[in-house]
């Protein structure tokens, strides 16, 4: 990763509310055009972290740059080049789609505003609905409008906070197609999510739990870096097998995935010894599989310390 390609470079970011560290000593480097996912449970500090990284929230400690500007002393400059899409629809329900986009464009003093609004409507397939009140839109169409509003001033960095909450699978798929097109054009994108199937859409993932970063790597390398081995069991008697295996030497994780059971551990020899008594059962089919991000995430969470404690 060349330094000239780094859009975000922050070190030691910490945020304290009362006597609790909601973000603790966070480091991050993000290359230009990357889709960077912040994955973690609700309340883990994802949104607070993203806001500090982009100069929208001043940290109690730490330093760094975003888009070449200092995140502490030049936050106003950063804000002009950032688009921010919140989890809750935050545009004006009693204005039309076009009026919403025009209002946002005016706030950013967008040159040639009327043409820019029309282009945004065309790009996201909203032209035919331009005179429809925003409040009457479905979740998927509100999502499209929110994204168009975020991009109206051509930001170099896009922040998405739980962007597909409450929308149907088809709308989610179309939304992610739009996100990848933006990334391909050079826009850098930070995504906060707790959906595992959305995390795989990201180029890089930072797992965050209780204010601390547990791992930060390309999404394709997450499971390998955790170092788990996983066996999948399908067949009869899985609840009894799961109960018996929990706590056995070599077994660090037992989880149901639909109709199958996934048994994982970092010591493959000990893991195979633990499941050996059940592998001879003709009613259960065992197969070794590559551990996925969900197994990795559950494993990481099991060792995290709750900052509410």
Between CA 62 and CA 69 the distance in angstroms is 14
Give kind and range of the element (H or E) at residue 115: helix 113-123
Give the pLDDT of the chain (309 residues) as one tens digit per residue: 556 689 999 999 999 998 888 999 999 999 999 999 988 877 788 888 888 988 889 999 999 999 999 999 999 899 889 998 877 677 888 899 999 899 999 988 999 999 999 998 888 788 888 888 988 888 778 888 888 899 999 999 999 888 776 677 787 888 888 899 999 999 999 998 877 777 888 999 998 888 888 888 998 888 888 888 999 999 988 999 999 999 899 998 898 888 899 999 989 999 999 999 999 888 999 999 888 877 787 777 765 554 444
- Cα–Cα distance list, 183 to 31, 68, 144, 187, 190 (Å): 11, 19, 16, 5, 10
Between CA 86 and CA 78 the distance in angstroms is 17
Instruction: Give the pLDDT of residue 4.
Output: 61
Domain ranges of the chain: 3-222, 229-290
Instruction: Give the pLDDT of residue 307.
Output: 44
Name the residue among 145, 122, 115, 297 with its Cα closest to residue 208: 297
How many Cα atoms are found within 13 Å in the side-chain-facing hemisphere of 100? 29
Between CA 253 and CA 296 the distance in angstroms is 10
Question: Which CATH architecture best describes the domain 229-290?
Answer: 2-Layer Sandwich (3.30)
Would you tell me which CATH number, out of the four given (3.40.50.300, 3.40.190.10, 3.90.190.20, 3.40.50.1370), belongs to the domain 3-222? 3.40.50.300
Instruction: Give the pLDDT of residue 1.
Output: 53
- In this structure, are residues 99 and 53 in contact, taking their beta carbons and an 8 Å threshold? no
Instruction: Give the pLDDT of residue 273.
Output: 94
Instruction: Give the pLDDT of residue 309.
Output: 46
């Amino acid at each position: 990763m060349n330094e000239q390609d780094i859009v975000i470079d922050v070190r030691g970011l910490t945020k304290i509310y009362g006597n609790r560290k909601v973000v603790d000593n966070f480091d991050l480097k993000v290359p230009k055009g990357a889709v960077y996912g912040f994955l973690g449970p609700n309340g883990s500090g994802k949104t607070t972290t993203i806001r500090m990284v982009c100069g929208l929230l001043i940290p109690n400690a730490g330093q760094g740059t975003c888009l070449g500007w200092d995140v502490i002393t030049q936050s106003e400059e950063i804000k002009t080049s950032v688009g921010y899409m919140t989890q809750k629809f935050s545009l004006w329900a009693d204005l039309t789609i076009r009026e919403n986009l025009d209002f946002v464009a005016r706030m950013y003093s967008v040159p040639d505003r009327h043409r820019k609004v029309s282009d945004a409507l065309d790009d996201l397939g909203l032209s035919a609905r331009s005179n429809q009140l925003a409040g009457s839109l479905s979740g998927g169409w509100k999502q499209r409008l929110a994204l168009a509003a975020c991009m109206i001033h051509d930001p170099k960095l896009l922040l998405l906070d739980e962007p597909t909450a409450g929308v149907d699978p088809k709308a989610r798929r179309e939304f992610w197609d739009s996100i990848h097109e933006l990334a391909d054009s050079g826009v850098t994108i930070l995504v906060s999510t707790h959906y595992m199937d959305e995390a795989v859409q990201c180029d890089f993932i930072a797992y965050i739990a209780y204010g601390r970063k547990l791992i930060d790597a390309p999404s394709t390398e997450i499971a390998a870096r955790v170092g788990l081995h996983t066996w999948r069991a399908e067949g009869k008697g899985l609840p009894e097998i799961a109960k018996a295996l929990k706590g056995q030497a070599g077994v660090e994780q037992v989880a149901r995935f639909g109709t199958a059971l996934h048994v994982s551990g970092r010591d493959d020899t000990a893991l195979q010894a633990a499941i050996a008594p059940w592998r001879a059962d003709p009613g259960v089919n065992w197969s070794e599989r590559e551990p996925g991000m969900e197994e990795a995430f559950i494993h990481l969470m099991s060792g995290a310390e709750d900052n509410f404690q």
